[in-house]
Amino acid sequence: MGRKLRVAYIDQAGDIGGGAEEALLDILRYMDRERIEPVLLHAERAEWLRDVEMAELRTRAVFPESDPVFEHSREALSSLGERLAGLWQSIGPVRKLRIALSAEDVDIVHTNSLKCHILGGLAARWLRKPLVWDVRDILEPGSARSLLVEVAHVTHPHIVAMSSAVAESLADAGCDTTVVLGARPMDKYVPLAPDEKLREAIGLKPGDKVLSVIARLTPWKGHQTLLDAFRRVLDDEPEARLLVIGDSGFWTDDYRDELKQQAEDLGCAEAVHWLGFREDIPQLLALTDVMVLPSKDEPFGIVLVEAMAAGKPVVATRTGGPLDIVEERVTGLLVEAGNDKQLADAILQLLGDPERAAAMGKAGRKRAEEHFDISRGLRQLYEVYDRVLEDK
Ligand code: UDP
């Protein structure tokens, strides 16, 4: 057998990381090591790597604890001054990446975040290495987006898009693009029996009809619409309870208070359980009757995959990612974003018909196994790697 494929994965997250780091870790954990030899280029203080145990993972800290180039916010890039400063500050990190990529003798460069697409992309271009951008966000029209497109024109990445909507959002970059839907290991995400102790601990009673929303508390996730809808649901289903799972970052604490106030004003505060950030999502899903994701716009929404894997019916909005994930009326229901009446109707349909809801949950599990298992995502990624090597 020839030499394994050496792929450099670049991610600059220094803090606890988010969905992008979670996804990258799954790629690294589950990839075929007979085939690929990964090296991870990361920040010096990569908190998200702290508890990670990965046999034989080569790692290299390439980004210092605080690097001015990462201080620029996406919004700030609109000023010419910021952009020039950013360009100037990029030279150091790009050179450093170039040295690391060269020393590791990599075959492919795979970048995992906006800033790494740019810095890693330029370093890869410098070395004439094939480049893969793993894109999971939809950028608003604006300067960060234009910069990304400009860099794409220079670096010619193969774009791996997490959903069709993500792919479309970068169509004008004119790059080869493959949609590789977000995935989870389906042997780890399985339907569980409800844990009665947990039910009690979070203040639920056995007969309660449980709705769960799993999402950061941030306005675009649509909690406000869900609270309005929940008020309507309670009128028909007084036993309904809403679990709000997820936290606000420290900068949006006010938003959580605002949401709590909204629940008070609507007179449904007693039926809403604010659980904050939880590590036991599968166990909470086991207590859930219907999982709801009310986002105004959603590039993907992996929580829908997690709910389907847990055998639960979902209600989501007819936007980006959910259109790829949910098979309408088979694994869940889709409603117009921002429409609390439609959202309430959909929830009530499922709460009122447990048999249909169970059938949807079952179909969801099947769909998750077929389309959203990490092994499938990895196979598609290997195909992308083969292609970029051929195109070289
Ligand atoms: N999550 C979690 N605990 C929480 C809230 C969220 O573990 O309290 C996880 C959730 O299971 C999912 C991820 O965070 O894996 C959120 O991913 P999603 O794509 O839905 O949202 P985003 O990446 O936009 O935050």
Q: Per residue in 27-66, pLDDT tens?
A: 999 999 999 999 999 988 888 887 777 667 889 999 876 6
Ligand 1 close to Cβ of residue 19 (< 6 A): yes
Is the per-residue pLDDT at 361 higher than 90?
yes
Rounded Cα gap, residues 252 and 194, in angstroms: 32
Question: Which distant-in-sequence residues (6+ apart) come within 8 Å of 335 by Cβ?
Answer: 315, 316, 317, 318, 342, 343, 345, 346
Rounded to the nearest angstrom, the distance between the alpha carbon of 35 and the centre of ligand 1 is 30
Rounded to the nearest angstrom, the distance between the alpha carbon of 310 and the centre of ligand 1 is 15
- Which carries the bigger pLDDT value, residue 242 or residue 54? 242
Three-class secondary structure of residue 5 per DSSP:
strand
Ligand 1 close to Cβ of residue 220 (< 6 A): no
Question: Which distant-in-sequence residues (6+ apart) come within 8 Å of 233 by Cβ?
Answer: 211, 240, 344, 347, 348, 351
Ligand 1 close to Cβ of residue 216 (< 6 A): yes
Ligand 1 close to Cβ of residue 281 (< 6 A): yes
Is the per-residue pLDDT at 247 higher than 70?
yes
Ligand 1 close to Cβ of residue 137 (< 6 A): no
pLDDT of residue 77: 62
Average pLDDT, rounded, for the chain: 92
Rounded to the nearest angstrom, the distance between the alpha carbon of 246 and the centre of ligand 1 is 7
pLDDT of residue 176: 98
pLDDT-derived band at 142, boundaries 50, 70, 90: confident
pLDDT of residue 69: 64
| Average pLDDT of the residues in 332-344 | 98
| Average pLDDT of the residues in 303-319 | 98
Is the per-residue pLDDT at 2 higher than 90?
no
Query: Sign of torsion, CA 245 250 251 256?
Result: positive
pTM: 0.93
Residue closest via CA to ligand 1's atom 12 equals 303
Rounded to the nearest angstrom, the distance between the alpha carbon of 83 and the centre of ligand 1 is 32
To the nearest whole percent, how much of the chain has pLDDT over 70?
A: 94
What does the pLDDT look like over 177-215, one tens digit per residue?
999 999 999 999 999 999 999 999 999 999 999 999 999
Three-class secondary structure of residue 59 per DSSP:
strand
Rounded to the nearest angstrom, the distance between the alpha carbon of 216 and the centre of ligand 1 is 7
- Which carries the bigger pLDDT value, residue 85 or residue 30? 30
Is the per-residue pLDDT at 70 higher than 80?
no
| Average pLDDT of the residues in 307-335 | 98
Q: What is the chain's Cα-based Rg?
A: 22
Closest by CA position to 306, among listed 355, 257, 246? 246
- Which carries the bigger pLDDT value, residue 313 or residue 17? 313
pLDDT-derived band at 243, boundaries 50, 70, 90: very high
pLDDT of residue 214: 97
Lowest mean pLDDT among 45-54, 111-120, 194-203, 318-327: 45-54
pLDDT-derived band at 71, boundaries 50, 70, 90: low
Ligand 1 close to Cβ of residue 217 (< 6 A): no
Rounded to the nearest angstrom, the distance between the alpha carbon of 307 and the centre of ligand 1 is 11
Q: Which domains does the chain carry?
A: 5-183+373-391 (3.40.50.2000), 196-371 (3.40.50.2000)
pLDDT of residue 67: 65
- Which carries the bigger pLDDT value, residue 54 or residue 218? 218
Strands lying side by side in the sheet with 332-335: 272-276, 240-245, 209-214, 290-293, 314-317, 332-335
Is the per-residue pLDDT at 360 higher than 70?
yes
